[in-house]
Amino acid sequence: MIRTKKQGLLIVLSGPSGSGKNTVCDGVKKINHNIWESISMTSRAPRKGEMDGKAYFFVSDEEFEKNIADDKMLEYAKFAGNYYGTPRESVQKHLDNGEDVILVIEIQGALQIKKKIPQALFVFLLPPSMSELKRRLTDRGTESKEKVMERFETAYKEINELSKYNYVIVNDEVDEAVSKLEAIIKAEKCRVDRIEEVFLDSPEEKIHEILVDKDLENKVVDVNKI
């Protein structure tokens, strides 16, 4: 009876560094094969082993700035002298094909997207506690103590943006967090505003319509009661 919109769902996943965004994203992609993870664009040079269109879309500063001027970026920012952002065209292409698109991005970028596409699904991922977040950042062993503390302090500021999201998931157990994200996506697909058309074309409904018509034909209408 219901035909839903073919358009895919745009999912924006954010959270503090160390909350497990990429791990949860990879988990939901394994169980939901209709999800495409957006590929970012950057003006930095490719590193060894990075392929254009796989790790990033690599462009020059001039080309990136032209995309900004032409409103072809859903969001962008500049870090350490290089641009990073989400190109509108590739995301829209997959959405139009009926695929769901997930963006794992920082909160600054997510809020830019919310201004342009408020109907997107915004999910915030939290660690079970701040002490656990600090442990995760420290256990990476890839950054200095000063950098870890900087990320930890940034996390406090980012959590204050929680109210601007639609859903929050506490990533205590990865499998559970993945299941919750998939459940949220399924629920969003059932929203009334995603219904494109309600149609009545089953055999039972057609028989019912015929019987109702026949019943009306056999009734005498009292015009004085109209």
CB < 8 Å & 24+ apart, contacts of 32-35: 32/100, 32/182, 32/185, 34/8, 34/98, 34/99, 34/100, 35/11, 35/99, 35/100, 35/101, 35/102, 35/185
Residues forming beta bridges with residue 198, ordered by sequence position? 2
Q: What is the CA radius of gyration of the chain?
A: 24
Indicate the DSSP class of residue 222. -
Q: How far apart are CA 127 and CA 129, in angstroms?
A: 5
Residue 124 · residue 14 · CB < 8 Å = yes
Number of domains in the chain: 1
How confident is the model at residue 39, as a pLDDT? Answer: 96
Residue 40 · residue 55 · CB < 8 Å = no
CATH assignment at residue 126: 3.40.50.300
How confident is the model at residue 122, as a pLDDT? Answer: 98
How confident is the model at residue 132, as a pLDDT? Answer: 84
Q: How far apart are CA 45 and CA 42, in angstroms?
A: 8
Indicate the DSSP class of residue 184. H
How confident is the model at residue 21, as a pLDDT? Answer: 95
Residue 208 · residue 34 · CB < 8 Å = no
Show the domain range for 206: 2-225
List per-residue pLDDT tens for the chain, 226 residues long.
666 678 899 999 999 988 999 999 999 999 999 999 999 999 999 999 999 999 899 999 999 999 999 999 999 999 889 999 999 999 999 999 999 999 999 999 999 999 999 999 999 999 988 888 888 778 776 777 787 788 778 888 888 899 999 999 999 999 999 999 999 999 999 888 877 666 555 665 566 566 666 555 555 545 455 4
How confident is the model at residue 220, as a pLDDT? Answer: 52
- CA of 121: how far to CAs of 8, 157, 193, in Å? 11, 22, 13
pTM score: 0.80
The size of the chain, in residues, is 226
